[in-house]
Structure 1
Amino acid sequence: MKLKILPPTLRLNNRYLVLDIKSEGKITKDDLVLATWDACVKFQGELGTSNFNLWVMKFFSFNSISKQMLNDYHTKFYYYRAILRCGRNFEDDVRVSLSLISKFNRKKLAITTIGTCGTIKSAVNKFIN
């Protein structure tokens, strides 16, 4: 017996946040997942975070930094971009939770949201490429 597929009217609508990540040390996709969940649970609690439907869809690493940036900060930072899925009406709550992250594993970490899209394809086309 086949499983029935939900019709589009009954499916949950998602939004995709494009994140710009600057870290003092190297991080992986798993580190980003832990930092995101930790920040959301601390700020919104377990019940609120469970409604967010969070999932890291894609993770991109940008190893090149300009000499101008290196001179401005006097420190080497690692730059990443990620696409984070969340529920349709919870984008602002997730953004606030992510903005409160300052350190993870004793390394400075800054996460900012570049934009919000309705599909992964449009998020990659607008903000990653």
Structure 2
Amino acid sequence: MKLKILPPTLRLNNRYLVLEIKSNKILTKDELVAILWDGAIRFYGELETSNFNIWVMRFFDCSNEFDKFKNLQNDFYFYKSVVRCQRGLEEKFRGGALAMINMYKRNKIAISTIGISGTIKSAVNKFILNE
């Protein structure tokens, strides 16, 4: 028997955060997932973190595109990513978990939020491709 798809009224609503990441070392998408989950679990605990529904949807390496920061380009790697978060909890995730992240495996890391969107497509078009 084939499983039925949930109607839109019963699905969880998501918001997509566009993050800008600066790091001393090269990061991968899997490492970013670990960084975000680790920061959220340390600040909120497992029960509250499970409600956030965090996942990295897109990951972009922007290290070669920052010509205006050529003097910093040798010191840092620049990335942008689209992260899924449950609607209504995105401010809690931004204010607590993202603000607490500054180190990962003895490497400095800085994460800032560029914007929030309702779909992945509009997040990429507004905040990543237009800059």
* TM-score greater than 0.5 by the shorter chain: yes
SS at 2:114's partner residue?
A: strand
| Aligned equivalents of 2:93, 2:80: Cα separation in 1 | 16
Could you say if the C-alpha distance between residues 74 and 4 of structure 1 is closer, same or farther in structure 2, counting changes exceeding 3 Å?
closer
**Aligned-residue identity in percent:** 57
| Structure 1 residue runs without a partner (length 5+) | none
How many pairs align?
127
**1:76 Cα deviation after fit:** 1.2
1:53 match:
53
1:44 match:
44
CA RMSD of aligned residues (A): 1.4
Ranges of 4+ aligned residues in structure 1 off by more than 4 Å: none
2:87 match:
88
**1:69 Cα deviation after fit:** 2.5
Amino acid at match of 1:39: G
SS at 1:89's partner residue?
A: coil
2:20 match:
20
**1:112 Cα deviation after fit:** 0.4
| Aligned equivalents of 2:74, 2:101: Cα separation in 1 | 19
Could you say if the C-alpha distance between residues 26 and 74 of structure 1 is closer, same or farther in structure 2, counting changes exceeding 3 Å?
closer
| Structure 2 residue runs without a partner (length 5+) | none
Could you say if the C-alpha distance between residues 74 and 12 of structure 1 is closer, same or farther in structure 2, counting changes exceeding 3 Å?
closer
Structure-2-length-normalised TM-score: 0.91
1:119 match:
119
Could you say if the C-alpha distance between residues 3 and 116 of structure 1 is closer, same or farther in structure 2, counting changes exceeding 3 Å?
same
Contact 1:60 1:80 in 2 (8 A): yes
Could you say if the C-alpha distance between residues 74 and 123 of structure 1 is closer, same or farther in structure 2, counting changes exceeding 3 Å?
closer
**1:22 Cα deviation after fit:** 0.5
Amino acid at match of 2:106: R
Contact 2:24 2:76 in 1 (8 A): yes
Structure-1-length-normalised TM-score: 0.93
Deviates more, 1:73-82 or 1:45-54: 73-82
Q: What are the equivalent positions in structure 2 for 1:61-76 lying under 5 Å apart?
A: 61-64=61-64, 65-66=66-67, 69-71=69-71, 73=72, 76=75
**1:75 Cα deviation after fit:** 5.6
